[in-house]
Amino acid sequence: MTPSEPEYRLRPVDRVELRLTDGTWAFAQENQIDIAKHWDGLTTANPTLFNGNLLLMVDGGLSNGLFKADLIEVDYASFITWRDWGWCDKAVHDCYGCAVLMSSDGALVMGRMGNHTINAGMIYPPGGSLTREDLLQGGAVDMTASIARELVEETGLAATDATPDGFYMAASDQRIAIGQVLRFNENAETMAARVWEHIAAEAQPELSEVIIMRRLGDVDPQFMPPHARAFSTVVLENTSGAR
């Protein structure tokens, strides 16, 4: 069973407050045998997959501009099984951050995922799951730091080199993406060249291609997941060259 791809609802976000709790996931505990079988099938097809840990949202939402959520730590195999089974546990959400990269000449810069990744061939804004690497003292989880970490890992670009221009939430069913718009003082070709240099220097880069989008017609429904389409559309609609 594969998850459906409904259109996302996009809303502006003023602040993000996340907290890691010590809760457990009943789905993972109750389906251990089937999860192990599903993961074995995935790793047989793609031995580069790694069963690490990530943070999953168990409670919260957006109210009056504040996105606030409680998180638990789960293993990647259970998460992927839940995703592949159609988000069957509706009590939890996949909450993650991504960087919506804008160039000085009004283009969006994204990347195509490499063949060894779980989402091979898909076009995404740089981003990924929250992990313990994003944990602050006292249990808070830093979404901005997570976005910056994923950005440099995937592209070599630094969030500190850009001007932050607000957050958006793209949500549908069990998926909640928090996108931070980052405006760079470089044109799209220069940014793309820097990302290509990063790709060439990596032994196993996450990206296989750099994608530049300048108009709404560049949004690809075949290879872009709903949150990527949603972020791209709202940003390009506000760009004078969009058509």
54-95 per-position pLDDT tens digit: 999 999 999 999 999 999 999 999 999 999 999 999 999 999
Place of tokens 């793609």: 46
**Residue 7 has what pLDDT?**
59
Q: What distance in Å separates the CA atoms of residue 51 and residue 78, rounded to the nearest whole number?
A: 9
Q: Is 213 exposed, middle or buried (0-12, 13-18, 19+ CB in 10 A)?
A: buried
**Residue 1 has what pLDDT?**
34
**Residue 237 has what pLDDT?**
83
Q: Retrieve residue 37's tokens.
A: 């079988």
- Give me the amino acid identity at 9: R
**Residue 6 has what pLDDT?**
52
**Residue 9 has what pLDDT?**
74
* Half-sphere exposure of residue 37: CA atoms within 13 angstroms, side-chain side: 4
Question: Mean pLDDT score of the chain, rounded to an integer?
Answer: 92
**Residue 240 has what pLDDT?**
53
Answering whether pTM is above 0.85, one says: yes
Residues with pLDDT less than 50, the chain: 1-4, 241-243
Q: pLDDT digits over 139-162, tens only?
A: 999 999 999 999 999 999 999 999
Domains, the chain, ordered by start: 9-235 (3.90.79.10)
**Residue 19 has what pLDDT?**
98
**Residue 234 has what pLDDT?**
85
